[in-house]
Structure formats: C-alpha cells, structure tokens
Amino acid sequence: MGPLLWAKNLRLMNSTKEIFRVDSFSMMRGEAVALVGPNGAGKTSLLLALALLVPPTSGTIEFDGNVAAAGNILALRRRMAVVFQESTLLDMTVSSNLLTALRIRNVARGESLARMEKWLEVFGVAHLKGRQARSLSGGEAQRVSLARAFALEPDLLFLDEPFASLDYPTRNSLLDDLGQVIKKMGMTTLFVTHDYTEIPHLAERTAVMFEGRMIKSGSNREILGEDYLERRCRVPWED
C-alpha cells in the first residue's frame, strides 16, 4: 500500500520570493509526523498547500492515490481537517459549531449528534456545549476546535501550532490529552511546531524545515538524538 499523502516537486512562490521548495514528502496511513523549524521556515505554508487550502505554484499532491486537481479538490479536502493556532470557531454555541461542520460534510443528523457528544466528552468540554464560542477561554476554544476536527473523522489531520497561544499549564494538559487520542485512534497527523519539546507527545517522525527547504527527516531519535526527551537548550536545525 502506498502513502496516504505524497507531495512531489512542490514549490510555492509569492510575488517576490520562493516560500518553499520540497522535492518529496510523504506520509503513510496512521503515521504522525512533526514538521519543525524556526519561524519563517515555510512550515505553515507547506501545511496549507498539503491541506489543499493554498494552491502550490508547481508540483503535485497525491492523496490516497488521487492526484489533487480542480475537479476533485473539494472532495479530497472533505477527507481532511485542520486545527490552527488561533481558534476558528463560528460565533454560535459549542454544539452548533460541531453540528454545522458535520452538516457541511453531509453527516446525518442522528450520527452528527452522536459524534458531537462523543468528541466533546473525549476532550473534556461536554459541559460547555451550550456556551457561546466567543465566551470560551483559549484552552477551552482549542479543545472544542479539536473535538470538531475529530468529529469529522478525517483521514488526515493537520495541526498548525495549536498550542502556541496557550499558557504553559493549559498547553501541557491539552498536549497530553491530544497525544493520547492520536495514538489511540491511529490518526494520520501532520503537526507543525517550532517548539521541538512538543514532538514526543504527538509524533514518531520528524521533518525539519529551514529557509523553505526540508533539510532532515527521520525518527524522533534520529533527528533529535537519543536523549531528545531531556534536551531543552539546543534546536536540531542548528546542527
């Protein structure tokens, strides 16, 4: 069986410069990969391209054996989910946020209600389902965002620095909870971060970007070293 996601000769330009150039990047089904690098390395731009939200300047993206093209972009995108650094919840109740997303994906009402209840409970925010999204704290909003993403039952989950705006205790609690869910579900996940201490919680493989290029890729220990759980003072792209 081939990769679930495979990008080849991918390049993104803006009007003045090249944002990234990635010759090849792939993910197997059930694999959790961390994409790391300093600010400005091109991580988020690559994620947006792989999630079919930003068209690359050139190259191909193949998802589950289908080359992404104008005729199938929407159908492929509906098999993915994205959680960003800042909450993208709609200005409605927590439950309505999940049910609206599921309705857009054409999930039947009864199934939508069951998924909504399940995933709000999994992420510890079932008691907030009647609250307005704008009244939530940062940590609560991210938990709801994650519950919404998992309720969609995506084949591929993209996480774009979802903990960056959270305080340290909230971040650690959510990081542990999310890591357990990803492992239990075997969710294929691409996790973008500039904080490599988050990697062991969510991913088993790491790819490193620097100045728009993917310069290293391998297991966490191959990239970060045998003692990567203990190290806090050196970043891997400075090798």
Spans of all domains in the chain: 87-153
Mean pLDDT, the chain, rounded, equals 91
Q: What pLDDT digit, counting tens, does each position of 162-200 carry?
A: 888 788 888 888 888 899 999 999 999 999 998 888 898
Average pLDDT over residues 51-78: 96
Q: Sign of the C-alpha dihedral, residues 194, 200, 202, 208?
A: positive
Instruction: Give the H/E segment covering residue 160.
Output: strand 156-160
- Which ranges of 84-219 would DSSP assign to H, the alpha helix? 94-104, 109-122, 138-151, 168-185, 199-202
- The yes-or-no verdict on residue 237 having pLDDT over 90 is no
Q: What DSSP state is assigned to residue 63?
A: E
